[in-house]
Amino acid sequence: MQPKERVLSFEAALSVVEQHAATVRPPDTETIALDASSSRILAELIAADRDVPPFPRAMRDGYAIRASDLANLPASLKVLGEIKAGGDPSALHVEPGQAVSIMTGAPAPVGADSVVMVEHTSSAGDVVEVAKGVASGDNIVPTGAEARRGDSLLAPGTRIDEAVIAVAASVGKARIQAYVRPKVAILSTGDELVGIGDIPGPNQIRNSNSHSLAAQVRKAGGEPAILPIAPDEKTRLRSLIEEGLQSDLLLLSGGVSVGRYDFVEQVLEDLGAEFFFTGALIQPGRPVVFGRVRETYFFGLPGNPVSTMVTFELFASPILEALSGATPRPLRFLHAKLKTAITRKPGLKRFLPATLSGEFENAEVELTPWQGSGDLASTARANCYIVVAADREHFAAGEWAPVLLR
């Protein structure tokens, strides 16, 4: 039996997805090497193991001085000695009229309240002449200014990137707790499909969706498992869907439109699925389906390759990120100036493959010429999607339009 139709606006569909994402329990954790953790999700709280910085740190090469000594310029100060990065300042104590030569990253000596940059000084023997004043505190980061020992630096759910790795390394975490990556079954359906290693017959095409989806799954933090291609025939389709439901998430491609051989929804209905929506008012990707069989969420993504990619990005990735233990993040978008006008019939929110160019202050975007949601090569040449609201008929050239990054 076909499930009851439930077509939502883009916003309503996304909010349904986000509500479910919020209820997902975080996965198990495992210990991994920090250097192998890039793009994984942090599963522990990382705290400062000591004050940061652990000593008053000089931010410049120059002279550690007392700012009050520079009231009248130029000022001549007696140089007591030198402290380099890693050096011990304990033997040096800066009194009025004195200075200590200091390097970036070195601990400031007692008595000095600031560092004057070497560029503003000239030295002769043990005397330095300073040509420019500083305020007390300039160019020294006080002990504990960035964090106190025990302060939380990173929360569980953080996606690990180079900046996160730098923090973990700085507190001595060579190994960290990460969430186990969720397993995502990928099931492409269609009698016309053959594997990428096979020679297609004259009326067949190669299965590209299983592979583009696997790449998107990996990018979003999941571990893809590509199932054999399902034919447009209920018995075999059902047994492959049952196999896919053993994973943490099932992604189907194709077979969710209104064609006579689109059996995906019927088979899922027969398996007792709940359907949260069976379509969204978007283009490409209108027939997208979201539901759950027992504990396992599934998405029925339309088979048109660009529709598959866009609907994964919009709807499947928030659920996958939740299953990965990641804190939800907003869609990545920006605004750019349209190079040419766009006119579309209202009623659908559109995500149109486009090319972004220009500079920071003057980002420009242009539709990529394409032959519709099957046109893979022009989609690969695009690097973003122009987003056209459902109630918007016309954008003039030169107008700023929202752009979703890929």
Write each residue from 289 to 318 as x if it is in contact with Mg ion (CB under 5 A), else as -, in one continuous string. Answer: --------------x---------------
Q: Which stretch binds Mg ion (CB under 5 A): 30-38, 248-256, 341-349, 392-400?
A: 248-256
Using rule CB under 6 A, residue 244 touches ligand AMP:
no
Q: Which stretch binds ligand AMP (CB under 6 A): 16-24, 57-65, 188-196, 320-328?
A: 188-196
Partner in contact with 257, chosen from Mg ion, ligand AMP, none, beta carbon below 5 to 8 Å by kind: ligand AMP
Rg (CA), the chain: 30
Q: Which stretch binds ligand AMP (CB under 6 A): 82-90, 217-225, 250-258, 394-402?
A: 250-258
Cβ nearer to Mg ion, comparing 65 with 264? 264
List the one residue out of 140, 337, 310 whose CA is nearest residue 212: 310
Partner in contact with 114, chosen from ligand AMP, Mg ion, none, beta carbon below 5 to 8 Å by kind: none
Among 49, 138, 192, 269, binds ligand AMP (CB under 6 A): 192
SS3 of the chain = CCCCCCEECHHHHHHHHHHHHHHCCCCCEEEEEHHHCCCCEECCCEECCCCECCCCEECCCEEEECHHHHCCCCEEEEEEEEECCCCCCCCCECCCCEEEEECCCCECCECCCEEEEHHHEEEECCEEEECCCCCCCCCEECCCCCECCCCEEECCCCECCHHHHHHHHHCCCCEEEEECCCEEEEEEECCCEECCCCCCCCCCEECCHHHHHHHHHHHCCCEEEECCCECCCHHHHHHHHHHHCCCCEEEEECCCCCCCCCCHHHHHHHCCCEEEECEECEECCCCCEEEEECCEEEEEECCCHHHHHHHHHHHHHHHHHHHCCCCCCCCCEEEEEECCCEECCCCCEEEEEEEEEEECCEEEEEECCCCCCCCHHHHHHCCEEEEECCCCCEECCCCEEEEEEC
Using rule CB under 6 A, residue 114 touches ligand AMP:
no
Among 110, 205, 380, 397, binds ligand AMP (CB under 6 A): 205
Q: Could you tell me the smallest distance in angstroms from the CB atom of residue 391 to ligand AMP?
A: 27
Cβ nearer to ligand AMP, comparing 147 with 309? 309
Among 53, 62, 89, 190, binds ligand AMP (CB under 6 A): 190
Q: Are 209 and 257 in contact (CB under 8 A)?
A: no
Cβ nearer to ligand AMP, comparing 89 with 300? 300
Cβ nearer to ligand AMP, comparing 52 with 213? 213
Cβ nearer to ligand AMP, comparing 133 with 374? 374
Length of the chain: 406
Using rule CB under 5 A, residue 190 touches Mg ion:
yes
The count of residues interacting with ligand AMP (CB under 6 A) is 19
Cα 133 to Cα 130, 181, 309: the distances in Å are 8, 55, 59
Using rule CB under 5 A, residue 353 touches Mg ion:
no
Q: Could you tell me the smallest distance in angstroms from the CB atom of residue 295 to ligand AMP?
A: 26
Cβ nearer to Mg ion, comparing 27 with 285? 285
Pairwise CA distance, residues 41 & 159, whole Å: 5
Using rule CB under 5 A, residue 254 touches Mg ion:
yes
Cβ nearer to ligand AMP, comparing 121 with 210? 210
* Chain residues 280-309 in contact with ligand AMP, contact rule CB under 6 A: 302-305
Which tokens is 46 given? Answer: 């990382």
Backbone angles phi, psi at 383, to 5 degrees: -130, 10
Partner in contact with 107, chosen from Mg ion, ligand AMP, none, beta carbon below 5 to 8 Å by kind: none
Q: Which residue is nearest to ligand AMP (CB)?
A: 303
Q: Could you tell me the smallest distance in angstroms from the CB atom of residue 301 to ligand AMP?
A: 8
Cβ nearer to Mg ion, comparing 202 with 330? 202
Interaction site with ligand AMP (CB under 6 A)? 188, 190, 192-193, 205, 207-210, 253-255, 257, 259, 302-305, 374
Interaction site with Mg ion (CB under 5 A)? 190, 254-255, 303
